[in-house]
């Protein structure tokens, strides 16, 4: 019975990850398209096909590891490309493309939490599955807004940061994911992320 429940939970998590990340990445590509940049479309990323967006380590292995370590999945997909020279409104357009992904996850979290709490019976399989879906989307929203390259939050910050900060962000970008993992795993940032996730979850319906 316990192993069946664990397997079911894992399947729900994996399906939630795929749906959430596909929509996240699609919204990056779609927003870029709206702002005049068809780079993502030309590379096949303006698509709801999961295979176009999944990275084996960042999308599948990392969330499983962090789910068991922190009880919150931390994950990302293959970054959607864009050409700053094509995007309307310069850095502000780039910030809009970056913000579209995590804010789509916030919307999905609200929808999932609403249906889990207000539509389906409390404790039912659908209610519990949608609660998992909402929790995962909050985790995506919070994690991707960390203002360290190459996460989405860094691109939003970059649009408003003074030039010295922009130069610093460009310099650390090749090492960004190592910095993020180091902070999460060794400097207590994992606990901060958990607290931020809980704060956002408390705001949901």
Active site residues: 25
Which ranges in 145-162 belong to alpha helices (H)?
Answer: 152-160
| Residue 172 DSSP SS3 | helix
In three-state form (DSSP H/G/I as H, E/B as E, the rest C), the secondary structure along 93-122 is: HHHHHHHHHHHHHHHHHHHHHHHHHHHCCC
- Residue 145 CB: number of other CB atoms within 10 A? 21
Continuous segment of H or E residues that includes residue 39: helix 39-42
Q: Tokens standing for 40? A: 């993502």
d(Cα 176, Cα 161) in Å, to the nearest integer?
17
d(Cα 39, Cα 125) in Å, to the nearest integer?
41
d(Cα 194, Cα 143) in Å, to the nearest integer?
10
């Amino acid at each position: 019975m316990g192993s069946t429940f664990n397997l079911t939970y894992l399947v729900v998590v994996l399906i939630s990850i795929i749906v959430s990340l596909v929509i996240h990445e699609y919204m990056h590509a779609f927003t870029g398209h709206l702002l005049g940049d068809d780079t993502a479309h030309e590379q096949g990323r303006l698509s709801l096909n999961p295979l176009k967006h999944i990275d084996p380590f960042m999308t599948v292995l990392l969330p499983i590891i962090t789910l068991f370590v922190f009880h919150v999945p931390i994950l990302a997909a293959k970054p959607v490309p864009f050409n700053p020279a094509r995007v309307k409104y310069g850095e502000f357009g780039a910030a809009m493309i970056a913000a579209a992904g995590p804010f789509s996850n916030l919307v999905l979290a609200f929808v999932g939490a609403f249906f889990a709490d207000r539509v389906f019976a409390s404790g039912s399989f659908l209610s519990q599955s949608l609660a998992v879906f909402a929790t995962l989307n909050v985790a995506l929203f919070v994690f991707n807004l960390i203002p360290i390259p190459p996460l989405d939050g860094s691109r939003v910050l970059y649009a408003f940061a003074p030039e010295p900060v922009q130069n610093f962000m460009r310099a650390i970008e090749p090492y960004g994911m190592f910095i993020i993992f180091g902070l999460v795993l060794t400097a207590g940032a994992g606990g901060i992320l958990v607290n931020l996730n809980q704060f956002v979850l408390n705001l949901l319906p």
